[in-house]
């Protein structure tokens, strides 16, 4: 019954062309989602993100963490990070997401947005360390935020709200042809945690 529900919710491709994005809606109950939110907030080794822009080191307000099944190295925004090993809860989440999505993952980037002031600009997740056209599964916990995608050539946009305890799957050629972002907003004052499960090669 549960799997039938996920198939129903995720059947539609949200993109009109050049990639596949499926939104599964809330895959966890309110209690489960609250549980994961609290545990991750308190057990993840959150750090301010760093990036190099025009040769200057910039420290973001948003916090990040990088975990995986081995001490993978991952370079993005010109900074290389070494993965910490799965915590029990991350491993549990990874397994649940793999069952629901039918995909496999070996690593996870976590983001902690303290309020709507913090977001993430247009980008695609196509760094050379990632499997080409590999699926990316995004789990959201906490404040509901808008997520947008924009086609690199046609500039078409698609947007949706990512609910507490929800799953979004981006796969196929999505990262090649589309950018995505989490726009900042004045309307939201509560924190949000996002997990993106990925495959490092």
Task: Point out which residues bind ligand AKG (CB under 6 A).
Answer: 109, 111, 120, 125, 138, 147, 162, 180, 182, 194, 196
Q: Please identify the residue of the shown chain whose CB is closest to the bound ligand AKG.
A: 194
Partner from ligand AKG, Mn ion, none binding residue 182, C-beta < 5-8 Å depending on class: ligand AKG
DSSP structural state of residue 144:
-
The answer to whether residue 125 forms part of the interface with Mn ion (CB under 5 A) is yes
Shortest Cβ 85–ligand AKG spacing (Å): 20
Q: Please identify the residue of the shown chain whose CB is closest to the bound Mn ion.
A: 125
Rounded to whole angstroms, the Cα distance separating 198 from 186 reads 30
The answer to whether residue 18 forms part of the interface with Mn ion (CB under 5 A) is no
The position carrying tokens 């989440």 is 93
Closer of 34 and 196 to Mn ion (Cβ): 196
Closer of 8 and 132 to ligand AKG (Cβ): 132
Shortest Cβ 199–Mn ion spacing (Å): 14
* Nearest-5° Cα angle at 127, 124 to 129: 145
Closer of 3 and 128 to ligand AKG (Cβ): 128
Rounded to whole angstroms, the Cα distance separating 15 from 169 reads 12
Q: For residue 15, what are the CA distances in angstroms to 19, 22, 45, 174, 186?
A: 6, 9, 34, 9, 27
Which run of H or E residues covers position 23? strand 20-26
Burial (CB < 10 A; 0-12, 13-18, 19+), residue 30, is exposed
DSSP structural state of residue 129:
T
Closer of 61 and 189 to Mn ion (Cβ): 61
Closer of 125 and 129 to Mn ion (Cβ): 125
Among candidates 197, 8, 19, which has minimal Cα distance to 103? 197
Partner from ligand AKG, Mn ion, none binding residue 111, C-beta < 5-8 Å depending on class: ligand AKG
Shortest Cβ 1–ligand AKG spacing (Å): 28
Please report, as ranges, the residues that interact with Mn ion according to CB under 5 A.
Answer: 125
């Amino acid at each position: 019954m549960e799997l039938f529900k996920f198939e129903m919710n995720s059947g539609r491709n949200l993109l009109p062309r050049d990639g596949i994005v499926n939104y599964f809606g809330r895959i966890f109950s309110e209690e489960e989602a609250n549980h994961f939110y609290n545990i991750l907030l308190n057990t993840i080794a959150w750090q301010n993100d760093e990036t190099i822009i025009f040769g200057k080191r910039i420290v973001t307000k948003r916090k990040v963490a990088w975990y995986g099944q081995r001490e993978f190295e991952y370079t993005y925004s010109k900074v290389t990070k070494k993965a910490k090993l799965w915590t029990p809860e991350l491993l549990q989440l990874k397994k649940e997401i793999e069952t629901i999505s039918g995909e496999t993952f070996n690593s996870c980037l976590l983001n902690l947005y303290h309020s709507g002031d913090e977001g993430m600009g247009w980008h695609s997740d196509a760094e050379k360390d990632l499997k080409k056209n590999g699926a990316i599964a995004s789990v959201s916990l906490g404040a509901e935020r808008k997520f947008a995608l924009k086609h690199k050539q046609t500039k078409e946009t698609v947007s949706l709200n990512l609910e507490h305890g929800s799953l979004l799957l981006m796969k196929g050629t999505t990262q090649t042809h589309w950018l995505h972002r989490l726009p900042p907003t004045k309307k939201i004052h509560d924190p949000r945690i996002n997990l993106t499960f990925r495959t490092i090669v």
